[in-house]
Amino acid sequence: MPGPVALTGATGFIGKTLLRRLTDAGWQVRALTRRPHGPYKNTQWIHGDLEDAAALRELVRDASAIIHCAGVVRGNTAAAFAATNVRGTANLVAAALERSEATRFLLISSLAAREPGLSWYASSKFRAEQALTERAGTLRWTVFRPTAVYGPGDREISPLFRAARRGILPMVGSGPARFSLIHVDDLAAATLDWLLSDLPAGGVYELHDGTPGGYDRDEVARIASEVWGRPVRPLALPAALASLLAGINLGLSRLCRYAPMLTPGKVRELTHPDWVCDNTPLSTALPGWQPRIRLRDALYAATIPEDKTKDFHG
């Protein structure tokens, strides 16, 4: 088996699953980390970050493929997102291009990149894609744009599921928004299939769980109610109130120096009417990959036994 695989973001939500699935499959992994880590099977830890040129050179040295999963999802300025998501991607691309042989490069982006005007985060993910595509040179690059990802270790969607188990599904806005979802295991499976494929350079692919047309909040509440055998009711926070609270939170974050999740940009993301995506191009390019876990499956699995709700938050 060729190797090693260079991986960024290995200590984050998606990255932890990727690391486990890669090493379980026998891949040797070289993983970037800012903090010391103990030994992990088939893994060499490289200490540094996306600003450390020497660490990045060591990370990609003789790698058969690079999987760039690191990213910032919280921040109180556009620069805070750009530092990691945009400049960090450019730095990694530059390190990869220093190698003499062509290298495969997978950027785990976000469906948010489809709407860069909504938020600092969405803009930074779009610009990260540009940092790759405009500098790619000899790299055989691919971009994955997963929709909202959930599963073990998720800190964004899991709180909604936990609230739903108590009978309330909180949502922002009252419009007819539709959205797709994907379980982190299906995203990881697509990544492993990409490693074993021979895709040509230049593909940008959306990923979701295969549910045609995605979901809306009423459908999510109905599925949760059917699986858990108890009423689950959507509770909509008015968009205007959410925006007011987000503005206050943004101001406080700058005074108290923390990285907020709830910002006016995040509210615009949450109230955007169309986050439905299409798997067809990726399923055609990777005929061995099909998503296996839909929302009903994941919620049902989390009910056996009762304390398995931890599967949604690690």
What pLDDT is stored for residue 157 in this prediction? 87
What pLDDT is stored for residue 3 in this prediction? 74
Would 247 be classed as within a structural domain?
no
pLDDT of 272 > 60? The answer is yes
Residue-number span of the structural domain to which 141 is assigned: 5-149+182-208+277-292
Query: Using H for helix, E for strand and C for coil, what is the string for 64-101?
Result: CEEEECCCCCCCCCHHHHHHHHHHHHHHHHHHHHCCCC
Contacts 24+ apart (CB under 8 A), 290-293: 290/210, 291/182, 291/183, 291/186, 291/207, 291/208, 291/209, 291/210, 292/185, 292/186, 292/189, 293/183, 293/185, 293/186, 293/209
> How far is Cα 167 from Cα 151, in angstroms, rounded to an integer?
20
Would 222 be classed as within a structural domain?
no
pLDDT of 312 > 50? The answer is no
Which residues are registered as beta bridge partners of 234? 169
Q: Do the beta carbons of residue 2 and residue 28 sit within 8 Å?
A: no
Task: List, in sequence order, every beta strand (DSSP E) within the chain.
Answer: 5-8, 29-33, 43-47, 65-68, 104-108, 140-146, 148-150, 168-172, 178-179, 181-183, 203-207, 233-237, 274-275
What pLDDT is stored for residue 176 in this prediction? 81
Q: Do the beta carbons of residue 107 and residue 89 sit within 8 Å?
A: yes
Task: Tell whether omega for the bond before 4 is within 30 degrees of 0, i.e. cis.
Answer: yes
Would 86 be classed as within a structural domain?
yes
Classified as helix, coil or strand, 296 is helix
Q: What percent of the chain has pLDDT over 70?
A: 95
What pLDDT is stored for residue 38 in this prediction? 81
Q: What Rg value do the Cα atoms of the chain yield, rounded?
A: 20
> How far is Cα 63 from Cα 65, in angstroms, rounded to an integer?
5
pLDDT category at 201 given cuts 50, 70, 90 is confident
Would 108 be classed as within a structural domain?
yes
Per-residue model confidence as pLDDT tens digits over 84-114: 999 999 999 999 999 767 789 999 999 999 9
CA 99 to chain centre: 27
Q: Do the beta carbons of residue 66 and residue 104 sit within 8 Å?
A: yes
> How far is Cα 126 from Cα 278, in angstroms, rounded to an integer?
18
The whole-number average pLDDT for the span 134-153 is 93
More confident residue, 313 or 106: 106
Residue 134 CA: distances (Å) to CA of 78, 94, 139: 21, 11, 11
Would 314 be classed as within a structural domain?
no
> How far is Cα 155 from Cα 9, in angstroms, rounded to an integer?
15
What pLDDT is stored for residue 179 in this prediction? 96
Per-residue model confidence as pLDDT tens digits over 154-166: 888 888 888 888 9
Alpha helices (H) along 204-293: 217-228, 239-256, 264-270, 280-285
What pLDDT is stored for residue 311 in this prediction? 42
What pLDDT is stored for residue 303 in this prediction? 62
Q: How many domains does one find in the chain?
A: 1
- Beta 43-47 vs 65-68: how paired, if at all? unpaired
What pLDDT is stored for residue 37 in this prediction? 81
What pLDDT is stored for residue 100 in this prediction? 63
Mean confidence (pLDDT) of the chain: 91
Which residues are registered as beta bridge partners of 169? 234
Residue type, 180: S
H or E element, residue 21: helix 13-24
More confident residue, 223 or 174: 223
pLDDT of 276 > 90? The answer is yes
Any idea what the CATH number is for the domain that residue 189 is in?
A: 3.40.50.720
More confident residue, 177 or 265: 265
pLDDT of 308 > 80? The answer is no
Would 241 be classed as within a structural domain?
no
pLDDT category at 196 given cuts 50, 70, 90 is very high
Would 16 be classed as within a structural domain?
yes
Per-residue model confidence as pLDDT tens digits over 224-252: 999 989 999 999 999 999 999 999 999 99
What pLDDT is stored for residue 156 in this prediction? 85
Would 308 be classed as within a structural domain?
no
Residue 293 CA: distances (Å) to CA of 182, 188, 226: 8, 12, 17
Burial label, 260 (beta-carbon count in 10 A; 0-12, 13-18, 19+): middle
